[in-house]
Structure 1
Amino acid sequence: MATRKSIPSGAVWEDFVGYSRAVQVGNQLEISGTVAAEEDLSDPPDLYKETRSVLNKLQRVLEGAGFSLSDVVRTRMFVTDISQWEDVGRAHGEFFRDIKPATSMVQVKGLIDPRYHVEIEITAIRG
């Protein structure tokens, strides 16, 4: 049986909610929904910049666990305003244009904090 390894980020919410930033089982890595860094939020929202911030954070989690963007097989994007899908998609394409993971982009009513407009989950499998 493959070993399960939790990868925390150190966020206070992990213990409160009961989750890990990522969980690795064997050669598969699941990364929890991730939002932008505080300094990359803007008013009015810039979903392109916010999405790039999220993807940069996710890339750091991947690399910290010994994975890379090329191992990503699935992304799930949750956005609060689907009319801005092109900004989100453009940022996603800059990271994944050549990798082309399976993906979904879904509009949601809101995220955990109203300052966030994009949240992304990733599944990666190391070959």
Structure 2
Amino acid sequence: MTRTNIPGTSPYEPIIGFSRAVRIGNHVHVSGSGPVGADDASPAEQTRVSIAIIQAALEKAGARIEHVYRTRIFLASAQNWEEIGRAHGEVFGAIRPACTMVVAPLLSPKWHVEIEADAYIPE
């Protein structure tokens, strides 16, 4: 199968050694996407920004948001799970991917959320 690395805009990609997304065959794996540029936004708005970053990566890989079958949501604090979950549901409510929420320290202390996604492009 052919592997395609999909770059993002992070200056840390070459330093850390990661791609925003990787497509292998019809599978697309999107790296953890934080709310870059929305440090002072609400948890819900940070979720929307993170999903927009994911959507852009998917499109560069030839996928669409409705191809997402799994998301992982990393929360800085469990107290924001409902607000973040509702914002996730604005996009994924009808798609209903498998989803996991985990509380973990995030890269920036201002971030409330970071999200990963996996997608499959149908034949």
**TM-score, length basis structure 1:** 0.92
Measured in 1, the distance between the counterparts of 2:56 and 2:10 equals: 15
Superposed displacement of residue 118, structure 1: 0.5
1:25-62 CA distances to partner (integer Å, 9 max, x unpaired)? 00000000001131x221xx510111011111111111
Runs (4 or more) in structure 1 with deviation over 2 Å come to none
2:26 matched residue in structure 1: 27
Taking the TM superposition and a 5 Å limit, the aligned residue runs for 1:86-105 are 86-105=82-101
Superposed displacement of residue 88, structure 1: 0.4
The aligned amino acid for 1:27 is: N
Aligned counterpart for 1:82 among listed residues 74, 78, 81: 78
Aligned residues: 122
Measured in 1, the distance between the counterparts of 2:9 and 2:44 equals: 26
1:17 matched residue in structure 2: 16
Superposed displacement of residue 115, structure 1: 1.7
The aligned amino acid for 1:50 is: Q
1:76-95 CA distances to partner (integer Å, 9 max, x unpaired)? 00001111111100000000
Measured in 2, the distance between the counterparts of 1:102 and 1:26 equals: 21
Measured in 1, the distance between the counterparts of 2:39 and 2:82 equals: 18
Residue ranges of structure 1 left out of the alignment (5+ in a row): none
Measured in 2, the distance between the counterparts of 1:52 and 1:76 equals: 14
Q: Give SS of 1:23's match.
A: strand
Give % identity.
39
Residue ranges of structure 2 left out of the alignment (5+ in a row): none
**TM-score, length basis structure 2:** 0.94
